[in-house]
Each structure stands twice: as C-alpha cells, then as structure tokens.
Structure 1
Amino acid sequence: MILSALVGYYQRLLNHPDPNTGQPKVPAYGYSAEKIAYVILLSRDGEVVDVQSNLDTTGKKPVPRLISVPRPEKRTSGIKPNFMWDKTAYVLGVESNKDKSAAKEQPWVVADKTFQAFKQLHLEKLQSVEDVGLQALCKFLQSWQPTEFAQAPFSAEMVDANVVFRLDGDYEFLHEKPETRQIWGAMLVPDDDALIAPCLVTGEASAVARLHPPIKGVYGGQSSGGSIVSFNADAYASYGKVQGENAPVSEAAAFAYTTALNYLLRRDNRQCVSIGDASTVFWAVASDETSAQEAEQFFAACFDRPVDDAEEQARIRPFLEKISHGRPLAECNPGVDLQTRFYILGLAPNAARISIRYWMDTTFGELAEHVAQHFRDMQLEPCAWREPPSIWRLLIQTAAQGKSENIPPQLAGELMRSIVTGQRYPRMLLSQLTQRVRVDGDVTGLRAALIKAVLQRDYRKRLIQEEVPVGLDRDNKNVAYLLGRLFAVIERIQEATLGDVNSSVVDKYYGSASSIPFSVFPRLLAGSQNHLAKLRRDKHGYAVLLGRDMGEIVDGLGGTFPKHFSMEDQGRFAIGYYQQKQHYFTTRGSKNEKVLEADAVPED
C-alpha cells in the first residue's frame, strides 16, 4: 500500500515539470538527483582545463547543487564505482586523511584502489565510443596520476566531494550525452540470471530488485541512507531466496518509490516535518495539480514551523485562522477539492533500516475536519494564541527548557497521529504537560489549551463524565477546577499586597497544590487572610473584590481539600488556575476595577 502510493506520486512528479526550470522534478528511471560540488572541464586531449564550483552560495554556507546523474551503487561493502560521476576517492584517487595528527599538514591521501576501479569501468564501457567528450574522459583516466591533485586548479576543499565531467566548450555534462545515456540504458538491463517474478507493487512480471536504492534524509538516520525493504541476513531468507527476492519488487518500482521518498525528504520542498525522532512526509493526489499543492501547503502550514516567506505567510494565514476557529474547510477555501487523496507517512531511523511509525491514507476533506476538530478541542477564551500554533509549537510546551531535542520522541508521533486521525490524544501528553507545569509553575496559554484538548476529547468520546469549560465558569463545582481558581486568587492577593517578590506562591507551592492540595491549602488560606488585612488598609475596594472571589470559591468547596489529585484532576486544576488568572488580566484596567482600586474609604 505504502510503496504503491509512492510509485503513484513519482509518476505525478515526473509528469508535472518544475514551473521555474521546465525540468522534471524527479529524475527518470535509472537516474538520481545527487549533490554535485564540482565540475571538471576537460580538453579534447583529456587535459584538465579548469575545475568549476557547483556550490549554491545563497544561503548561510555553500552547499552542493543537485544534478541528475546515473543512480549510485549501493555500497554495503567492497569497492563499487558509480558511472560518470563519484567522490574524489574514485574519480581522482584522493580522499581525506584519516590520521588526524597528520591531516593538518597533509589533508588528503592517495586512494589508488578506488580510482583503478573507476578507471577500469569507464575504459571498458567507453573506449569504443566515438564521441569526442567521452574519448576525452578515457584519455584523462589513462594519463591521470592521483599525486597531480596537489597542483592547480585542484584544492583541498574538493576532497571527498562529488564530481562530474564536461568537455570544454559544451553546455551539457558528459553523463547527459545521448551516447552516454544509451550505454547507461544497456547497463540497466537485468542479467540473464536475474529473478523474474510478479512485482508486489505493479503486479507485472519483471526483474526483481535484490537491493533497493538508499533512502536519505530521515532525521537521525545514517548519512549513507537506509532501507524500508531489506533482507541482509540468513535469518530473513526463506526457501533459498536471498535479499529482495523474499519480497519481490521490480527494479523500476523500487527506483520509483525510493526516488519519490528521497524527494519528499528534502527539506527545501516543505513536504517533510521533523519532530522528535520521526520524519513525517506527506503528499496529495488530485485530478489537477493546483488542488494537490493547496492540500500540501495547508498541511505544512498546520504542522511545520512557520515559513520565512512573508508573502506565503500572508496568503496562508487567513485560511489557518478560519480552520483554527473550527470553521469547515469548504468555507475556508472553497477551491480545494475535498476528495483529494492525502497520504501521511512517519519514518524513524533504526540503524541501517527505517521504521514505519505511522501511515495514513485519507481524503483531504476528512483530514481538514480532524485538524479543525483539534483546534476546537483546544479552544479557550480568551484565545490562547495569536497565530494558529503548529504541532512543533505545541510539542515544545512539553519539553524541558523549551528545546526541540527534549521533546519525548514517542510523544511526537502519537500526537501527530491523534490530530490527523481524530483519535484520543496520547495519555502521555497530559502527564508531560502537568509535569512541566509542576516543575516551573508556568501555565501558558498553549499548555492550558492542550490540557483542555486532552480532557475535552475524552469527554466527547464518553471516557470521562464532566465537560471542560471554554472560559471561566463560576458555576462549575468540580473540586480540582475550584482549587485551581482559588490558587489564582491567592496568587493575585499576594501580588496586590507585596508586589514583585523573588519567590512567589506559585514558585513555592504550585506543584504540591496541584497534586496534594490537603498539605498546603490550609496554610495558603491563612496567609492570604493576613495579606487581605494589609490590603484593606491600602486598597480597600480591591481587597473586597478579591475577598469576595475567595469566599465564593471556598463556599463551593464545602471546606474539604482532597489528599491527592489524579492526572486528570491536575489538568482541571491547571485550567481553573489559568482561566481565573486570565479573568483578572482581561478585566484589569476596566472601569469597575479602577473604581475598586481607587482611594476607597477604608472600613471603620
């Protein structure tokens, strides 16, 4: 199912060229988009005329540009040269010096074995070809000595970089020539002893790929790439079949799905979200390209970090704001086809293999409804965000010190799955949020919104009995909610009486008040009465207001304080605290409060 969807996406990419360049977004069968750093210009006699940089210098640091080249060999072991391009160890016979103590004086060393393998392959395949450029490459390989790398125009920066060739005066690379493509096409023809079997993806009988091309770009994975389909030990073999023969996928299908996946994993395409240890890729399939791109941009805006492009932000923001207020997709963006197929694939590294964390095949309309429901579940009054928060911003609320690397890996995938499928939020989310609040006492708007979402969704699914209020609910008699409100009142009394202090009541007591209220609230109430007595002398009217709030809440409690709060109750405590505190914040400066805070006549 997953491979079949990726093969279909590859065909979409192949059939819709890049509007800026007019070139296909992905290479044709047998080719691969690789990072090529340098181009060696050859004369007709095989002499090196110049070395040109192919680095993109528009960013913070130079990076190699992508060029479509014959697909690379899978080097699990041994020496295997690529055709018409490779690293300097193969093309020029030089590699970086592994001896760190000597590397400063001599940054590169000769790699003769790899160069001889590259030389032998190309002389064998190209020597009888009449093309001037290919003959120039043969002459270069026959005369080249790796020690010549010490001379201009070569430099130490080239070591271990990927290199291609071009004939001086030509615009095309040597690997792009028709003669080269013909030779490479013949090299792609399966050997006579290749296994022919029905492909599990296409259903057609064709040569089976024993090794699938590597998948690169999975966050935390090996730089050389990994595999989704892999059989590299006797324990995985059956009935004498080895490697890819155990799950027959044709060479063409293996190339298509890995090429599509490598394209999706490129961060500049904005179709990959990396959160925790999982890389989530997504794509759409629609009757027209515009609907598919709109669906993909919507998902990226909801789940990825904000883009730097101000124009794109301005275009997407109204759409997201409507979704974040729970409006249906048909109203937010009428031009999007609700039946557009949408695919989401979560990947995580596992040594040389890649694990499937989650997989979703749905319609865009269903996905958008689940996202809208997610925002409805988080809805608080006043709104807890200025701009609709991405999943990254939400997960940061659970991380120690607010750092991405501290996001619990499993939680990232589980939260993503809950949002896109509409399932119950992971219980781990509630425990992480309440734990972070107990540690730092900071009940932010997003933390409160997430806690409310977990409880509200459980209520909708009839897993708990009490609904969670969107705004301050003075009629709510839930003990945990009332104690959260009471704690906010106690904090307000302290602030009004003492002003800014080094260690507030929240800093000292929030953790114990929200988990074992019996142990602290009697003392907190006694201290608050002392503060209120002082406040009556300075701001009598304000003291009356706060004393009324405290009395109203205490009356609802009935004079009892629970010995222990469950995780759910700790969540309700946080929401009650947040909503009562926000009530004071939003009414601050109102006409009523100004009168109360004014120089009122003190009591006799």
Structure 2
Amino acid sequence: MILQALVDYYQRLLERRTEGLAPFGYSPEKISYEILLSADGGVVQVNDIRDNTGKKPQPRLMNVPQPEKRTVGIKSNFLWDKTSYVLGISATSKRADKEHAAFKSLHQEHLAGTQDAGLKALLAFLEAWTPARFAAPHFSEDMLDANLVFRLDGERTYLHERPAAQALRAQLLASQAEGQPPLAICLVTGEPLPAARLHPAIKGVSGAQSSGASIVSFNQESFASYGKSQGDNAPVSERAAFAYTAVLNHLLRRGEHNRQRLQIGDTSIVFWAEAADAQEAERAELLLADLLDDRPTDEQEAARIRSELEKVQKGRPLADIDPRLQEDTRMYVLGLAPNAARIAIRFWEVGTLGLFARRLAEHAADFHLDPRPWKTAPSAYRVVLATAPQYKDSASMDDAASQLVGELVRAVLTGRPYPRSLLANALMRMRSDGHVSGLRVAICKGILARERRLGINSDKEEIPVSLDKASTHPGYRLGRLFAVLEAVQRLALGKQINATIRDRYYGAASATPALVFPVLLRNAQNHLARLRKDKPAAAAGLEMDIREIVGGLADNFPRSLRIEDQGRFAIGYYHQQQSRFRQEDGADSGNTESTEDHIEETQA
C-alpha cells in the first residue's frame, strides 16, 4: 500500500513536470563543478556551479544518470562522477587510479562509434587526460572529491542531457535488465517485469546513514526464504523501485520551501495530497502542514495559523479557512525513523483532509485547558519534550523517549488513544522535579479525556476543562487542596521561603495522600495563624477554600492513588493554582498564565 501510493504520486508529479524529480534511470545528485570541453576534447574552462547565496557554497542538485550502489567495489557512474573517477585525483581515495580506469573503460565501451559531437569530445578528453594535468589555471584542490559533469563549449545542455546520451542510457538500462533473472510479478504494479535486485538508497531521513538507507532490503541469509536472494524475496520491478525511492527523496529534500516534510523528534514526516489539480493539492498540503507544525517563522504567520486552528477546533467547515479547500481531498501521511542501515516505518495513515482536520480538532479539544497555558497549540515535539527532565527551565529531546513522537502523531491522526507511557512519563517527571507546568497537566487531561470519550476507562465524571468546584473525584479534590495549602505557605512566608511544599511533597502527596496530607494540614494551621494577623481577609478566604474542598472528601485520605487519579490530581492542582493567579492579577481567563508556565512553554 505504501509503495503503491508513492509510485502513483511519482507518476502524477512526473506528468506535472515537477522540478527536481527525475525520470526513470536518473536521480537528483549534488554537483559542484562543470568541465567545459572543446570539440577536440580540450579543457576550455572549469566552472564552479555551486549555490553561493548562503554563507557557505552548497552543491547544486541536478538530474543525472542514477548512481551505482557502491559498497567496497569499484563502479563508475555514467557521464558524471567524483574527481577520483573522472580525473583520477582524490584527497581521500587510495585507489583513484583504478577508479579512473573504470570510468574511462565504461565510457570507451558504451560511447564507441557515437556520432554525437559532445560524446566524441568526452572520448577525446579521456584519451588525452592524465592526472598530471590537474593543475592551475583550470583545476584547484577545492575540487577534490566533488562531483563533476561535462558540457560542450558553446552549448547550454550538459552531456548527460543530450538526446544521444539519453538514448545510450536507455540502452544501458535495457542491457542490464536482460542479464537479470526471469520476469516476476511486481508487487506494486502487478505487471510481469524484471525485479530490482537492490533498491536505490533513500536519503534525507534524519539520523539515518548519510549515504542513504532502505525500506526494502535483504542483506542477510536470515531475511531470505525458499532459496531466493535479495530483491527476489519481495519482487518489486526496477521502475517501481526507482519511482518510490525517487519521490521519497523528493519529499525528504531539505529546504525552507519544502512544506511537505516535518521533523518531529527522530521522526521524519512526509505527506502529500491526491487532488484534481496541483493547486488544490498544494493548498491541502499547506493546511495540513500548518495544523501539524507549530513553529511559524514570524508573528503574521503565527496569527494566520492560530486563526486556522481555532476554526478547525470549533468544527467549522474547511471552506471557512479557504473556499478552495475540499473536504474530500485524499491525504497520505508517512512517518519514517532511522534504524541502522534501514528505515523504520513509524506510522502510515490515509484519509481525507476533512477527516484529518476533525481529528486534529479532537486532539485540541482533548488537550484544552482553561486558562490556556500556550499561545499556539503545542506540536507533538513540544508535548514529548515536556516529559523530559527540566534543567534550569529548559529540557533536551535527548532525555525524552523520542519514539513517543511517532506514537503521539499516529494517535492524533487516527483518533485512537494516546500512548499510555506519555501519561506515566509526565507524572514521573512532575513527581521527581515538582515542575507542574501547564503542558504537563494538559498531557494528563488529554489522555484521560480521550480514554473516557472512547470508553476505555470507567470514570463516570468528566475531565474538567477549568476549575470545577462541584467535582467529587478524590484525586481532583486532593490536587486542589494541595494548591491551596501551597498558597497558604507562600502568603505566610513570602520571600523567606526557600522551597515550597510542591518542591518537597508533590510526588508523595499525589501518590500516597494519607501519608502526607495530615502533616501538611497541621503545618498549614501555623501558617494560617500568622496570616490572620498580617492578612486576615486572605486567611479567611483560604480557610474557606480548605473547608469547601475537605468537605467533599471521605473521612480518611486515600492510602494511594491510581495513575489515572494522579493525573486528576495534577489537573486539580493546576486549576486551583491558576484560579488564584487570576484572582490576584485580575486578568482575563483566556490570557492568564503563571510565570513558571509561561517561561517553560516559551523555551520549549
């Protein structure tokens, strides 16, 4: 299914003549220099064709004959290659002479008898060239190990783009196919075609090998069956293998203009639309990119994305965002992660744009808290990052379970339950560092709200979005009580306090209330006695809150709380704490944020 969808997308892009996508037998490669040849094979000039717009020159992507898969053997590319093959000169290779001999032999064999002026010039160049001629003014050490192409002086097209060269390339591919085993039914197209022995490399997956990795490969005997070797175990034709790898490399290309690729943790996410025309597909892809990613480049873009998210969250039709958007536009989302020499499929989801928009709206509703602890809804990256240890109000993705990113995105796109380990990690971090941030609380709320909505847990009481004084759930009430007791301590001691009860007792209070709350309530009486002298009105209000909360609890504190109840504890704590901030600041609920939450969310 994945390979079929990729091959179909490749065909659509090829029909639209999409820039950067190569036809069968070619691939976009990084080229740095061109050698300009005279008709008799002399070197007229060597030009640097790299992109110099940035701080450092970058090679130019150019469609050239597909490179050979090299491991330890010597295999020459057709009409282009690096300097060790083309010129016999290298800064790293110790066998440049043999590599150049292979390049020369390949072209003398396949270009023999050609009548094309450009190809004849290349043959003459190879006949006369010796590594000793690598010197100024045409050549410099900056060229070493870079990829080179050829062009005939006075013409714009490169040698590999000339019709005669393309015809020879087609013959070369056909001759390679003739030497292959008998035809097999391609698992992608269903046609009897020669099966690809090795699939082209896929580049661009973060964390994978820089030379490329594979989704389909059989490089050990344990992976083979019935005496078959390599690609014969899962026959995919040469053309289909080329098509799906070419379009994946196109989707994974890096650059600010590629809005079809997102990097969230260790997962490289690519997505595309199937629509009647290119403009409709592009609009659908841009909307999905906005909804999945929360890292706008400027305030204007941030405001636009926020407006789109709010409309989607309210269940408004997509036409309200853009009249040209179609609800039934088919979307494909693929998550890839590195796995040594292979690429792992983290998730694969297919649906309509309207369906994905509704599921993203459900996700936003599940995570919604009042007051809202963020300006822009957090991405999966920020959610998982919140489960990492906090060091001086910052966190590193290296300390988070990166595989949770893929699991979370899959849950969002499918509407299935969030990974339970996300709740466990968030609670563990809050117990260990006492950092009860709005995002961590939203994780607890989102997981519990979704499980209740899907009928997974038996809790009858809804998960409150804002402070719910009518809630009788013991976990929620105990969280509220803990927040009030912390407020009593803060008001009584003021700046004299070094560590609040949250810093010392949050973990124990949320897990084993019976051991902690009696002690906290006795200590609170001492703080309240001090407050009655200095701030009698505040003391009266806090005492009223304590009586109201305790009055709704059982006669005895629970000995322990389940993991779900610990999540409700965090939610109750957050709601009560934010209610106090709102009362103190007199701010509107939609804009209220605690200082700690604001710092944590901004840096995340």
TM-score (norm 1): 0.90
In 1, Cα distance between equivalents of 2:89 and 2:501: 66
In 2, Cα distance between equivalents of 1:110 and 1:245: 33
More deviation in 455-464 or 264-273?
264-273
Once the two structures are superposed, the pairs formed by residues 140-539 of structure 1 within 5 Å of their partners are 140-149=125-134, 151-189=136-174, 190-194=176-180, 195-268=182-255, 269-308=258-297, 312-329=301-318, 331-401=320-390, 402-464=395-457, 465=459, 466-500=461-495, 501-539=497-535
CA gap of 1:111–1:450, structure 2 versus 1, over 3 A, is: same
Displacement of 1:250 in angstroms is 1.6
CA contact under 8 A between 2:35 and 2:151: conserved in structure 1?
A: yes
CA contact under 8 A between 1:276 and 1:407: conserved in structure 2?
A: no
In 2, Cα distance between equivalents of 1:35 and 1:315: 36
In 2, Cα distance between equivalents of 1:525 and 1:276: 43
CA gap of 1:488–1:261, structure 2 versus 1, over 3 A, is: same
Displacement of 1:326 in angstroms is 4.9
Deviation per residue, 1:70-101 (Å, 9 max, x gap): 1111123411111111122212223334xxxx
Tell me what 1:587 maps to: 583
CA gap of 1:516–1:151, structure 2 versus 1, over 3 A, is: farther
Displacement of 1:172 in angstroms is 1.7
Supply the AA of the counterpart residue of 1:318. Answer: S
Tell me what 2:107 maps to: 122
CA gap of 1:489–1:238, structure 2 versus 1, over 3 A, is: closer
Tell me what 1:2 maps to: 2
Displacement of 1:371 in angstroms is 0.9
CA contact under 8 A between 1:327 and 1:372: conserved in structure 2?
A: no
CA gap of 1:506–1:229, structure 2 versus 1, over 3 A, is: same
Supply the AA of the counterpart residue of 1:542. Answer: A
Which stretches in structure 2 are left out of the alignment for 5+ residues?
A: 588-604
CA contact under 8 A between 2:417 and 2:450: conserved in structure 1?
A: yes
SS state of the match for residue 90, structure 2? Answer: strand
In 1, Cα distance between equivalents of 2:284 and 2:425: 31
In 1, Cα distance between equivalents of 2:565 and 2:269: 33
Match of 2:29 among 34, 41, 50: 34
Displacement of 1:257 in angstroms is 0.8
CA gap of 1:51–1:517, structure 2 versus 1, over 3 A, is: farther
CA gap of 1:25–1:320, structure 2 versus 1, over 3 A, is: farther
SS state of the match for residue 499, structure 1? Answer: helix
Aligned length: 576
Displacement of 1:169 in angstroms is 3.0
In 2, Cα distance between equivalents of 1:487 and 1:432: 21
CA gap of 1:56–1:511, structure 2 versus 1, over 3 A, is: farther
Structure 2 residue 130 is matched with structure 1 residue 135: no
Supply the AA of the counterpart residue of 2:582. Answer: T
Tell me what 1:84 maps to: 79
In 2, Cα distance between equivalents of 1:82 and 1:55: 20
Tell me what 2:596 maps to: none
Match of 1:568 among 564, 569, 574: 564
Deviation per residue, 1:211-257 (Å, 9 max, x gap): 11111111211111122222233444444432222222221111111
CA gap of 1:243–1:579, structure 2 versus 1, over 3 A, is: same
Deviation per residue, 1:498-535 (Å, 9 max, x gap): 22433222222222222222222222222222222212
Displacement of 1:161 in angstroms is 2.1
Tell me what 1:543 maps to: 539
Deviation per residue, 1:460-502 (Å, 9 max, x gap): 1222213210110001111111111111112212222222433
Deviation per residue, 1:325-346 (Å, 9 max, x gap): 4545454444321211111222
CA gap of 1:371–1:51, structure 2 versus 1, over 3 A, is: same
CA gap of 1:503–1:158, structure 2 versus 1, over 3 A, is: farther
In 2, Cα distance between equivalents of 1:404 and 1:249: 37
Tell me what 2:592 maps to: none
Displacement of 1:15 in angstroms is 2.1
Match of 2:60 among 65, 77, 82: 65
CA gap of 1:278–1:545, structure 2 versus 1, over 3 A, is: same
Tell me what 2:44 maps to: 49
Deviation per residue, 1:437-478 (Å, 9 max, x gap): 122222222221221010001111222213210110001111
CA contact under 8 A between 1:517 and 1:563: conserved in structure 2?
A: yes
Supply the AA of the counterpart residue of 1:491. Answer: E
Match of 1:577 among 573, 591, 594: 573
Pairwise CA RMSD of aligned residues? Answer: 2.2
More deviation in 414-423 or 291-300?
291-300
TM-score (norm 2): 0.90
Displacement of 1:386 in angstroms is 0.9
Displacement of 1:65 in angstroms is 1.9
Supply the AA of the counterpart residue of 2:417. Answer: R
CA gap of 1:398–1:96, structure 2 versus 1, over 3 A, is: farther
Supply the AA of the counterpart residue of 2:452. Answer: Y
